Homo-oligomer: A and B are copies of this chain.
Amino acid sequence: MKAKKDRVDEALNHHLSLEAGYPETLIESIKYSLFSGGKRLRPILVLAAGEAVGGSEEPLLPFACAMEMIHTYSLIHDDLPSMDDDDYRRGRLTNHKVYGEAVAVLAGDALLTLAFKLMTGPGMNDDLKPKPVIKAIREIADAAGLGGMVGGQVVDILSEGAAPDQETVNTIHEKKTGALIKACTAVGGLLAGGSEQEIEALKSYGGKIGLAFQIIDDILDIEGEKEALGKDIGKDQEKNKTTYPAVYGLDESKEKAVILIKQGIASLEMFGEKASFLRGIAAFILMRKS
């Protein structure tokens, strides 16, 4: 995981260096959030999904980086005073606390836009077939937009304080977190030349572990350690957020997470040994403390 993370970090650095020369404050603000100790789960999933269908890593790297950029943009915007109003993330002040709200909004906008630039990079298209590239971009735009991440964030914000119910919490989690994680695995398989059946299996895996990831996030907000998480715990309850524990209780939430991880791993059967990395990620998600 460390090796993959390093390659992602290196590629992120490379792509950002190409943007040097543009407003320095903005680049700084982008780097501040992009290199703040993230786990790089999403880009690693892209690479690992490509591996599962027998593809090589190199051509997938720009897409892997793009997913991390989209994820980072969403965190910057989510933390804004008008949204979750968070002062800390990963043990450091949030972007708008350091650079001001205007630059934080624009850093997010720039990251989202840059993600799509990466996915259409001139150095990349020789390795990848153009039709799957277009399909992958669509998949990602869909997962990041109204029907996915942004849509989920809206439901999340509008449901704050309302009586939490199963349908709402599942909608929020699947859209806000699950959709992008699912897109990572789908796109990795698609670009690496996976068959339709393989891509479906990867999507099924991504959907399950994506939901589990968010449930565990909810649990960590109750039971986690502040130091490991790099942020205050108990914020969800304080804000009356619609979380899994709030709807299902802590014990049932834990059970559900375990079941989802098992189901995710079960989806990988057809890949045999080639999916051992994806299985490891699933286990990592269940065990994570931060």
Contact = CB atoms under 8 A, between A and B. Distances in A.
A105 B107 CA distance: 13
A76 to B, nearest CB: 10
A104 to B, nearest CB: 8
Interface residues of A, number: 50
Q: Is the interface of A mostly helix, strand, loop or mixed?
A: helix
A195 interface: no
Interface in A107-141: 108-110, 112-114, 116-117, 119-122, 125, 130-131, 133-135, 137-138, 141
Contacts of A157: 102-103, 106
A114 B146 contact: yes
Given A125-B134, A147-B22, A158-B25, A112 B109 contact: yes
Nearest to A143: B113
Interface stretch (A148-156, A205-213, A282-290): A148-156
A255 to B, nearest CB: 30
A101 interface: yes
A27 interface: yes
Interface of A: 19, 22-23, 25-27, 73, 77, 80, 82-83, 100-103, 105-106, 108-110, 112-114, 116-117, 119-122, 125, 130-131, 133-135, 137-138, 141-142, 144-147, 150-151, 153-155, 157-158
